[in-house]
Structure 1
Amino acid sequence: MKILITGATGIIGQEIVKRCHELDIAVNYLTTSKSKIEISEKYQAFYWSPNNNDIDEQCFSGVDAIIHLAGATVSKRWTPEYKKEILSSRIDSTNLLVKSLKSIDHNVKQVVSASAIGLYPDSLINFYDENYNGNGDSFLAEVVTAWETVVGGFSELGILVSKVRIGLVLSNNGGALPQMVKPIKFGVGAAFGSGQQWQSWIHIEDLSCIFVYVVQHRLDGVYNGVAPNPVTNKELTQSIANTLNKPLILPNIPKIFMKLILGEMHVLLFESQRVSSKKIEEQGYYFKFYQLKSALKDLL
């Protein structure tokens, strides 16, 4: 089997590549940097530039499935200009892949695209599964809705389409966790707002395994990429502190304070989505990190 990965150099992409190599799955990947192009027996890079509608179509040679992760990070201040980049990076890259596959002979049978639980509305009481019929009203929900819509274009080519809605990814190699750990290590950590907002988290290893599992078992449709036991922001913060043997002595950080510092991006810290992992479990996936305590112990 050979998989083409977009966004392979990001924290999720790197883990997926690692899983593929462990399973003896060959990897092609796309990069916007010609200096990052590498070629080995199991790992080959190809250049693309979604902004310029340019792609090396040799990237599809011998490929059975595509894992599509490419998109500008949302963990950067959301200026009006950057919000356009967050959206266009996902739309343009997807459209380029669809357009390219339309024009060539290929063996691609499945596309598994990243998505996000930011699609679900902010709620302290709802428990969302993939059948929920409705979207949130945040900028992230707008992005995910547009993203999932264009990904659906692959199905018009007779390709199986799968989407993994990713939650809060816990990794010691980047993302949110190292940023949460820093203030706690220095004794100035605290929960955000009421601390009651739900955090549907997942260990990076389980997330990468889910992407590969969806490909290996040709699962179609939408799957939530979250662990089985979501926690509140207060519980998450306290669990990190306990794992590090650090006290939490400061009061919760007010929402208005973080809005002043982060602008509109502050919603990443305060929106609440309690999300179910039942569907992927019913397909036979077994989580290695089922509880937050074991995940944090492994990472920290």
Structure 2
Amino acid sequence: MKEIVLITGANGMIAKELAKKIGNEYELRFLTRKKKRDNEFEWDLRKKTVDEAAFENVSHIIHLAGANISEKRWTDERKKELISSRIDSAALLRSILTQKEITLKSFISASGINFYGTKTTEKIYSESDPPGHDFLSEVVVLWENAADHFKEHNIAERVVKIRTAVVLSKNDGALKKMIPPIQYGVGSPLGSGKQYMPWIHIEDLCSIYEFALKNSGIHGAYNAVSPQHSTNAELTKEIAQVLKKPLFMPNVPSFILKLIFGELSTAILEGSRASSQKIQQAGFRFKYPELKDALSDLLNKN
């Protein structure tokens, strides 16, 4: 009998790629707003309803649900949505598990590398460092607290929080947005370009989730970030080199990004480094530790 893994955030980039990776070894179920397949189950956060059949004999939950941080300007309403989509969804899962007296082998939650704050410094942050003091830090702290509640009342034998960096994937996310300007000859670094952009190849990220799923000794927070540290300017330059395109435009001024994105611009214009030592010391090995190799794999695929 295959163990059953329930995944939230079914329509997201990570869930789709993760399903390909672990689908042969585990029986997968997905929570989604609109059921399209037999292994999908509907839930509605506003109504606080969920198809309880999804939880029958479930062994693990991978909680990937959460509104996209960079999709819209951070209005007060959007900020509430960013928090609610993560915290209220976890609370709904916890309430059902408690009611049905289900004990999970693991609850593995997405989290964010912005736990440490959105600021450009020379410090390399590790999992033992305290959280920052800006909005994104607040979101991640609440997100992780919601995950930690699964350790209470025997709901989950262990809880893992994956502090995810910028995910590089050709099909979605930051890289998809960066490619077209460079292809058309108008790409350039953002702001000073000196801000660090912690990153991870989508395949390595999915492998970290698989690693956390299979290894009972994995618990607590882990930075899901490549060992190689890169700035925004270095990332932009490397993309251009892999695409064999010139870069000659001046940096996009910070004030323009602030006008366009408002408070969200801080997540674009600031960034520090984070260490991957903890996950590597646990035995994980990156397939794409170097930016050039990661981009070559993603951008040279048909």
Question: Structure 2-normalised TM-score?
Answer: 0.94
- Per the alignment, residue 288 of structure 1 pairs with 287
Alpha-carbon distance in 1 for matches of 2:56, 2:285: 32
- Per the alignment, residue 152 of structure 1 pairs with 148
Q: Deviations over 1:88-145 (max 9, x none)?
A: 1111101001111111032422100000011112132110010112x22221111111
Question: Where does the alignment leave 5 or more consecutive residues of structure 1 unmatched?
Answer: none
* Mapping 1:46-57, distance limit 5 Å: 46-57=41-52
Q: Percent identity?
A: 45
- Per the alignment, residue 31 of structure 1 pairs with 32
What is the one-letter code of the residue matched to 1:57?
E
Contact 2:97/2:103 (<8 A) preserved:
no
Helix, strand or coil: the match of 1:207?
helix
Alpha-carbon distance in 2 for matches of 1:107, 1:155: 10
Q: CA RMSD in A?
A: 1.1
- Per the alignment, residue 59 of structure 1 pairs with 54
Report how far residue 269 of structure 1 moved.
Answer: 1.1
Report how far residue 63 of structure 1 moved.
Answer: 1.4
Alpha-carbon distance in 1 for matches of 2:179, 2:189: 12
Q: Across the two proteins, how many residue pairs are aligned to each other? A: 292
Structure 1 outlier segments of 4+, above 4 Å: none
What is the one-letter code of the residue matched to 1:249?
F
* Mapping 1:172-187, distance limit 5 Å: 172-187=170-185
Report how far residue 192 of structure 1 moved.
Answer: 1.1
**1:87 has 2:89 as partner:** no
Report how far residue 25 of structure 1 moved.
Answer: 1.2
**1:141 has 2:143 as partner:** no
Helix, strand or coil: the match of 2:7?
strand
Helix, strand or coil: the match of 1:64?
strand
Of 178, 193, 196, the match for 2:194: 196
Helix, strand or coil: the match of 1:162?
strand
Report how far residue 212 of structure 1 moved.
Answer: 1.3
Alpha-carbon distance in 2 for matches of 1:138, 1:193: 20
Alpha-carbon distance in 2 for matches of 1:268, 1:90: 19
Contact 1:2/1:25 (<8 A) preserved:
yes
Q: Deviations over 1:131-184 (max 9, x none)?
A: 112x22221111111111111110003211110000010001110101111111
Report how far residue 262 of structure 1 moved.
Answer: 1.2
Helix, strand or coil: the match of 1:113?
strand
Report how far residue 58 of structure 1 moved.
Answer: 1.3
Report how far residue 268 of structure 1 moved.
Answer: 2.1
What is the one-letter code of the residue matched to 1:275?
A
Of 101, 105, 119, the match for 2:101: 105
Contact 1:4/1:67 (<8 A) preserved:
yes
Alpha-carbon distance in 2 for matches of 1:230, 1:12: 22
- Per the alignment, residue 212 of structure 2 pairs with 214
**1:115 has 2:111 as partner:** yes
Alpha-carbon distance in 1 for matches of 2:116, 2:284: 23
Contact 1:124/1:196 (<8 A) preserved:
no
